[in-house]
Structure 1
Amino acid sequence: MRTLKWHEHVITAGTVLTGCTALVLALTGPAAHAVQPRDLGRQTLAANDGWGSSGPGTTGGAAADAAHVYTVSTWDAFKAALADGGTAPKIIKVKGTIDADGPSCASFEVPGYDFDTYLKTYAPETWGRTKNLDGEPDGSPEGLRRASAALQDAYVKAYVPANTTIVGIGKDAGFMGASLQIKGVDNVIVRNLSFESPLDCFPQWDPTDTADGNWNSEYDSAVIYGSTHVWMDHNTFTDGDHPDSSLPYYYGRIYEQHDGEMDIVKGADYVTASWNVFEDHDKTILIGNSDSASTAAVDRGHLKVTFHHNLFSNLLERAPRVRFGQVDSYNNHFVAGTDFSYSYGIGMESQLVAEHNAFTLPDGISAAKILKKWKETPLTADDNYVNGTLTDLIVVHNAEIPGETLQSGAGWTPTLRTRVDPAQAVPGIVDHRAGAGKVC
C-alpha cells in the first residue's frame, strides 16, 4: 500500500473519519464513493473546543438563508456584504486576494500635509523629548497627519456584524492591508484566510515613549474588541512584502508601520484561536491593552481565550502578552528567530495556562526567554518541550533571570479541550496543518 500524506485516509468498512478532509463515505457492498465535504460556511465550532464553545457556542452565520450568502472578490463588495442584512446570519465567502490598502498612501493625504515638514517640525533637537504631540492644533503638521490618518482609518477598517462567518474559498483567499473590526458583537467565525498586515501610512511620533521616543502605528489585522463567542481558525497572519526589516528609520527610531496581528481587548470573551499561523511580526497578540484602573474594571472576569494548534513563527514578542484573562494555550508550536524577545508575556492579574507546547529555539537563545514577567501573577506551565527536551519553563526562567521571579499555579484547570496531542508530536502536526489553505 502506498504511503498516504497527512490529509489522506485509508478507508475500510467501519472506519471513523477525522481530519482536514472530513470526507463522508457511503459504503455500498465492496465499493465506496466519496461525497463532497460540506460547505465551510456552514461549519460551526465543535462542542468543548476552547473558550469559544462556552455557553451557546460559536455558530457564526451557519444558519444563513440563501439571500445572505455572498461571494466577494473586492474590498467594496466585502464591505457591502458586511453591511447588508444587519445582524441576520450571513456567510461571506472570499475569493482570491482582496486589496484593502487603497490606491496609495498619497491618496489619503489631506491638502497641506507634507511629511518632510512633519519631520522638520518635530525633530528632537527642535521639539525636545518631554512633550508629546497630542495637543497640536488641526492646522499643524500633526493635525494634518491626524486628518490624513482618519481617511486611511475609514478605508482599511471593516466592521463585522454579529452572526457572521467569513471564510476563504480554496487555498489563496485573503486580504492585503485589511483591519477586521470585530467590535461589540457576538458570534463570529473567521476561517481559511491570509492576512497581510496593514501598513500605517501615518504613524505618530511620540518623543515621550521611552527615553529615545517611538513611532506608534495603528491597524491590527484583526481586533476582537468587547465581543463574545469568536472562532479564528486556519488563518495566516504575516507582514508579507513589508516586514519591519524593510522599514526606514527617522529620528534614530524605526518608522514603525505595523501594529498587532490579532488583539483581544476591552472585555472580549469566549474566543478560540485554532490552527492559525502567526509569522514574521514584532508585537503579535495582545490580550488586554492596559493596566489602568478603568481598563481593569472592564476586563476583570473576561478575556477568556483558548489558543491551540497554532504556529508562532519568527515572532519577536507577544504570543500572546496577557493581562487579566484566563488564557489556555496548548499544543502550539513556537519557532523563534535570532531576534526573539519572548513568547508569553505575564501581565496584570493574568491567569495563563501554557501546557503541552513545543518550542524550537536557535543556537544562542535560552529557554529562559520564553516567559517574560511584567507583573506579579502566577501561571501554570507544564509538559512543554524545548528543542525536543522536556523543560520546566518557570524553573529555567527563574534560574537565569532572578530579578523576574515567576510563581507557579494559575489557579484554574482548563476543561474545554477536544483533544490534546503529545507535546513532542506538536511540530510535525502543527507545521503541516496550520494556516490558510489547509482546511476543508
Structure 2
Amino acid sequence: MKLTPTILATAILLLAGNAFAARTGGFATADGGDLPGARYFTAANYQEINNIITSASTVPGGAYPLVITYTGNEDAAIATIVMDHNPDAAGNCPNPHWNDAYRQVAVTGYTAGLTILGADGSSGNFGITLTNSSNVVIRNMKLGALGGAAKDADLLRVDSSSNVWIDHNELLSNSHECNGSPEGDLTFEGAIDIKKNSHNVTVSYNYIHDHKKVGLDGSSGTDIAGGREITFHHNLYSNVSQRLPLQRGGWTHMYNNLYSGITDSGINVRREGYALIEQNWFENSVNPVVCRYDATLCGWWDLRNNNVKSPADFKRYGISWTPDDGINTVTAIEWKTTAVFPKTLPYVYESVSAQCVKNKLRKYAGVGKKLKQLTPVACLGRDDDEHDMHDRHAPAGDYMENYTKCADAGEICKVKTGAGWVAFGRKGNWVTKYIGTGHAVSCTIASFGSDPGGRPNKCSYRVY
C-alpha cells in the first residue's frame, strides 16, 4: 500500500479518458475525487482501501478528495465460492458461505469527494458500503460471490448517501438457492441496494449476471425518504432472478439497458413510485415489468420505444408472465403505460435505439472496457466480429466458450447442469435462449426465433 500521493495519477486519468466528469447521463453529478487538491493512492486489498480512507478522515467529511486505484485480484476466491453454491439434486450446497464475516470497504461520512477505480484485471471478493457520504464514484470494479448474506453483505450499498455514480462495474454471484439459506432465499445478498435518505444516483454500464436479488430502491414499505431519484442506463443484466430494481416510491429512469434471462421478475415498481422505461431491450425474460406484492399501493410505468411494443411481441422476444397466485400483483401483461412520468429530468442524456442496445452494449458494459460509452455513431454499422449472443464474444469454433454440445440441428437439447442457457449456431454465429436447468428445447430455427447461419447449426448449453 502507498499512503503518499503517487505519480500514477496521470495513468489513472488516461484510463478514464475524459469520463471523470459531472455528466453521468443520469441524476448524479458526481466528480468523485477528481477535484482540485485531490490525492491519489493505490491499494492491493480492501483493508488498504479502508486504511487510506481512514487516514483522510481526520476532519469531518474528509480532509481532501481521494482517488484510489484498486489493483488486487481475488478471482480464485470468487470462483471457489461460486462452486461452493452449486446445489446437488436435493438442493444442498457443499459449503455455504452465508455466515461468513462481511468483507467490506466502509465509507462513512465522506463528502470531500471519493473515487474508487479498479485497475484492469483486478477483482474483489468484498463489498463497498456508503453511509452518509456524497460525491462518490465507483468504476471498473469487478466484485463477486460475497459471503455473509446473514450479515446483510451487499456487493454495493448506498445508505443515506447522495450524488453517487456506479459505473462500468461487473457484479456477480451464483443465482442458485441452497437449502438452509437465511430466510429461505438469501444465499447471497443484493448486488446494488440503494436505501434510506439517498438521492441523485446514477447506475450505468454495469454487467450484472448470475445473481438472484439484484437491487433494492428502499428497504421496506416505509423506506421512501421523500422519493429517491435514480437513473439506470446502459446496464447489461444476464441470468438474474429479480429486483431490477425493486422500487419503493420515488422516480427511476431506465434507458438503454439490456435485460436478458430474468427468471422471476424484473422492474418492480411499488409504493406509488414512477418509472420511465425507455429504449431498453428485453429478451427471454419472465415478468419483466411488474408491481409485485403491493397492488394496493402500486407504482406506475411509462413505456417508451422499447423493443417490445405490444403483447404481439412477447413470443418473438421470449417474454412470459406468471399468474398472480394470490400474491397481490399487477403486471405489464398488456404492455401499456399506466401513467406518464411526471418529473422533468434535470440532466441531458444521449440514448440509442433498443436494437443498437441489443447489438452493441456487450462491447461497452462492464470492466476492462476503458470506460467507453455507447453513442449513436457506434450504432451506424455492425462490426464483423459482433454477434448476438448471451455471453462474451465467442471463438469461431463449433461451440461457445464454457458451453458443451447437447444436440445437432433437429434434435432435442436437454440442459442437464449449469446456468440454463442454450446457444444455437456454429462458427461464431449464435443466438441464445434461457431454458433453465433440467429442461429441454428443440434445436431448430423455430425454437430460437432466427437462423444464426451456423451451417449446420448445433446446440450447446452453458456449463457454468
TM-score, normalized by the shorter chain, greater than 0.5: yes
Residue number in structure 2 paired with 1:404: 330
Equivalence map 1:271-310=2 (5 Å): 271-292=201-222, 295-296=223-224, 299-301=225-227, 303-310=228-235
How far apart are the structure 1 equivalents of 2:199 and 2:76?
28
Residue number in structure 2 paired with 1:44: 20
TM-score by length of 2: 0.62
Q: Deviations over 1:411-431 (max 9, x none)?
A: 234352420101111112211
Kindly state the Cα deviation for residue 369 of structure 1 after the two structures are TM-superposed: 4.5
Q: Deviations over 1:171-216 (max 9, x none)?
A: x12311x121111011000001101132117x3xxxxxxxxxxxxx
TM-score by length of 1: 0.65
Any conservation in 1 of the 2:291–2:298 contact (CA below 8 Å)?
no
How far apart are the structure 1 equivalents of 2:185 and 2:245?
23
Aligned: 1:434 with 2:365: yes
Residue number in structure 2 paired with 1:164: 114
Aligned: 1:174 with 2:123: yes
Which of the residues 371, 379, 394 maps onto 2:290?
A: 371
Equivalence map 1:257-336=2 (5 Å): 257-292=187-222, 295-296=223-224, 299-301=225-227, 303-336=228-261
Residue number in structure 1 paired with 2:136: 188
Letter in 2 for 1:315: V
Residue number in structure 2 paired with 1:62: 34
Equivalence map 1:32-431=2 (5 Å): 38-40=14-16, 43-47=19-23, 49-53=25-29, 58-63=30-35, 65=37, 68-86=39-57, 87=62, 88-98=64-74, 152-153=101-102, 155-159=103-107, 161-162=110-111, 163-170=113-120, 172-176=121-125, 178-200=126-148, 203=150, 218-239=152-173, 243-245=174-176, 248-250=178-180, 254=184, 256-292=186-222, 295-296=223-224, 299-301=225-227, 303-336=228-261, 340-361=263-284, 365=286, 369-373=288-292, 374=294, 375-386=297-308, 404=330, 407-414=338-345, 416-431=347-362
Q: Secondary structure at the match of 1:272?
A: strand
Letter in 2 for 1:277: Y
Kindly state the Cα deviation for residue 386 of structure 1 after the two structures are TM-superposed: 3.9
Any conservation in 2 of the 1:100–1:156 contact (CA below 8 Å)?
no
More helix by share: 1
Any conservation in 1 of the 2:119–2:140 contact (CA below 8 Å)?
yes
**Which structure 1 residue ranges, 5 or more long, are not aligned?**
1-34, 106-147, 204-216
User: Do the aligned partners of residues 358 and 311 (structure 1) sit closer, same or farther apart at CA in structure 2, a change above 3 Å counting?
Assistant: same
Q: Secondary structure at the match of 1:78?
A: helix
How far apart are the structure 1 equivalents of 2:187 and 2:321?
35
User: Do the aligned partners of residues 252 and 388 (structure 1) sit closer, same or farther apart at CA in structure 2, a change above 3 Å counting?
Assistant: same
How far apart are the structure 2 equivalents of 1:165 and 1:70?
10
Any conservation in 2 of the 1:332–1:357 contact (CA below 8 Å)?
yes
Q: Secondary structure at the match of 1:267?
A: coil
Q: Secondary structure at the match of 1:175?
A: coil
Letter in 1 for 2:25: D
Letter in 1 for 2:202: T
Any conservation in 2 of the 1:284–1:318 contact (CA below 8 Å)?
yes
Any conservation in 1 of the 2:216–2:247 contact (CA below 8 Å)?
yes
How far apart are the structure 2 equivalents of 1:356 and 1:186?
30
Which one is further off, 304-313 or 158-167?
158-167
Any conservation in 2 of the 1:342–1:372 contact (CA below 8 Å)?
no
Q: Deviations over 1:148-189 (max 9, x none)?
A: 96x924x5352263310000112x12311x121111011000
Any conservation in 1 of the 2:266–2:289 contact (CA below 8 Å)?
yes
Q: Secondary structure at the match of 1:385?
A: coil
User: Do the aligned partners of residues 436 and 313 (structure 1) sit closer, same or farther apart at CA in structure 2, a change above 3 Å counting?
Assistant: same
User: Do the aligned partners of residues 100 and 90 (structure 1) sit closer, same or farther apart at CA in structure 2, a change above 3 Å counting?
Assistant: farther
Any conservation in 2 of the 1:361–1:386 contact (CA below 8 Å)?
no
Kindly state the Cα deviation for residue 255 of structure 1 after the two structures are TM-superposed: 7.0
Kindly state the Cα deviation for residue 370 of structure 1 after the two structures are TM-superposed: 3.4
How far apart are the structure 1 equivalents of 2:50 and 2:170?
21
Identity between Structure 1 and Structure 2 (%) = 22
Q: Deviations over 1:80-138 (max 9, x none)?
A: 11212121101100113258989x99xxxxxxxxxxxxxxxxxxxxxxxxxxxxxxxxx
Q: Secondary structure at the match of 2:35?
A: coil
How far apart are the structure 1 equivalents of 2:311 and 2:13?
39
Letter in 1 for 2:197: G
Q: Secondary structure at the match of 2:146?
A: coil
Letter in 1 for 2:305: D
Q: Secondary structure at the match of 1:429?
A: helix
Kindly state the Cα deviation for residue 410 of structure 1 after the two structures are TM-superposed: 3.0
User: Do the aligned partners of residues 437 and 379 (structure 1) sit closer, same or farther apart at CA in structure 2, a change above 3 Å counting?
Assistant: same
Any conservation in 1 of the 2:250–2:274 contact (CA below 8 Å)?
yes
Any conservation in 1 of the 2:276–2:303 contact (CA below 8 Å)?
yes
Q: Secondary structure at the match of 2:124?
A: strand
How far apart are the structure 1 equivalents of 2:37 and 2:18?
11
Q: Secondary structure at the match of 1:50?
A: coil
Kindly state the Cα deviation for residue 384 of structure 1 after the two structures are TM-superposed: 1.1
Letter in 1 for 2:210: D
Any conservation in 2 of the 1:62–1:89 contact (CA below 8 Å)?
yes
Residue number in structure 1 paired with 2:438: none
